[in-house]
Structure 1
Amino acid sequence: MQPVTFEDVQAARQRIGDAIVLTPCAKSPALSEIADCELYCKLEYLQRTGSFKERGAANALTLLAEVGGKPGVVAASAGNHALALAYHGKRLGLPVTVVMPRFAPLIKAATCQRLGANVIKFGESFAEARQHADRLTTEQGLIYVHGYDDPAVIAGQGTLGIELHEQLPELDAVVIPIGGGGLIAGVAVALKALRPDVTIIGVEPERMPCYSKALEHGEPCMIDPVPSLADGLAVGRVGERAFLTARPHVDRVVQVSEAELALAILRLLELEKAVVEGAGAASLAAVLAGKLPELAGKRVALPLCGGNIDPLVLRRVIEHGLAVDHRLCRFTVTISDRPGGLAKLTRLIADADASIQEVRHDRIFAGPEVTNVQVDVVIETRDADHAEAVRTALKAEGLLH
């Protein structure tokens, strides 16, 4: 097995041409202020199907179309790779079959079908979906296109690195999400060839540190899949070719928690007006969590890799992010169950400049004192200090212990 080279990436750039979007990479003043460095967001969620995966898919399918790709291609994917194959397969006239685990987001499966792909839901894990896709390659003579370990796919993802160099020639560092490793492998090869002193940093979810485990063992190894907000990164095993290609060029790898991912999604939504999925927000999560202090004052690029987040998941993430940010707080108080008891509580909260979001009475489990009632309250506050001020006011009145 040979690593992907810079020449492969250059050829991919010429091959895919206008088939993908040259996405903007502008400085974010708001994010730069809170991160203490110059942050530039590469808006990959503006690709036609909402993620960087189009680069690799376009390159791989164009190569197959040139040599005749009938009866078509197949891939196992939880979403973005499938979307990219469906779109570019339709554009190039290649039949596409995608096998998705049963837990794959409904919106991604529906979009793949709308783009003309044959969507098969199979298995409770990515590994089971992959096994079924492998059977289809044998039974139907389809060509398997790996989402992050195919050399043409890796080379296609590397075109993002060439664009970063052209858009930010003075770039100091780039922070890249890692799942299977295809993106960081391609981008690292390209950037290190064009500017060897640029720092390449990888970010992976704490729940699925596939690349870090590969570093520990010296080779890719399987870890038990665990659900993550960054579902696009939770692949279980980094690709062999991706690891071989990336390892000499990646300078550092850090992990981020689920709470940090949720907060990064919220920050992008509020400050950049950008809807980004968990995997796409991982690079910002690492910066905001203070895990990369060496980047202070430097020019840093963040590829916002994808925006295909389920609307229902987004709603929960926003609420969780607000809780992590101490802007939604929940507490239980004991008040009088007689007239005026609830009014006293709401007046105290209003006097503290907080806003009540939800109130729920609990008389059944409030204890034997029939004149009292427990009330669960969710309030909106400005920050942690404001939330603590509300708690202090309630404690002073004996409502909160």
Structure 2
Amino acid sequence: MISAHPLALSLRGLRMAYGDQVVLDGIDLDLPKGQVLALLGASGSGKTTLLRLVAGLLMPTAGTVEIAGQTVAAPERGVVLPPEKRGLGMVFQDYALWPHLSVARNVAFPLEMQRLPAAERAARVTQALARVGLGDLADRRPSELSGGQQQRVAIARAIVGAPPLVLFDEPLSNLDRELREGMVEDLAALVANLELSAVYVTHDHAEALALADRIAVIHRGGIAQLASPAELIDRPASAAVAEFLRLGTLLPARCSDGEWVIKGTDIALGPGPDAAAAQVLLPERSLAPGTHGPAQLRAEVRSMQVRNTGFALSLTIAGTDLPVRLLSAHPARPGEMLALSYSPDALRWFPQAG
């Protein structure tokens, strides 16, 4: 049964090390029931290790893992519950469906392992398939289904036992970009309708932003920022987060006679922090072609790509090699100089690198 505990997951002081190699350190987070947490990070950041610690596939060096109020890992106290005792649902990269079994038998497998009576298994399987919209496909084989339908079978299997938490291990990573983008929307709608408590591991920014209530950006074994998607985009906590999310251009800046300019130029940036030098994020979404904004700069077009939403321009700020990106409604030729506008209020300031 699903626990009434308000937190689906709680991690405190979680640490994972292999000898002298520290993979994760100081992980603290809470996931309220009914919300989705995305673990977003580059390859090797520690996000997959964190998921495995929650699942019980790895045991932490220190700290505690609580699922729906139950402590499932606390090495200092000798608490170590194996995966099968944690009652979790899991959705894997390749869905892990058995091709020789029907949809219903695939979904029923976790209940068979629990040795539930046949009548109860059948009722739960029927309910789970109905919840994911596959009630009329129970007798099909996985090979007869589309990719999106196979994903729904994997989710039905994950929720059939009414787990307090579902773990998604990069379920869309094996798909090509176009198919993945379409399935993200379907998956986000399904997860929201099911009101799942879930941890979703991904390296794809769009997936995390579309699916999650909160996102933990994992960087060098720690949480660089834990925030809602909107807050993450509007107020990145550091230059590293802004750079990883590709939010725009990080510019080196200096203060001269009380005026902030792009380092190596006389391009004014407006008011900045109380420092002699800093980094400043010029968000891509704050840029617009033309001179109608409160602040302007000039940039040279380097290349252009045609997108279904417009023209993706790669430019460099005039007199520098600093790159900027712009999605424009109009094409532009390489070598063309464009005037760009932005609001100084959109700039985000960070300490100088190093």
TM-score by length of 2: 0.28
Structure richer in helix, relative to its length = 1
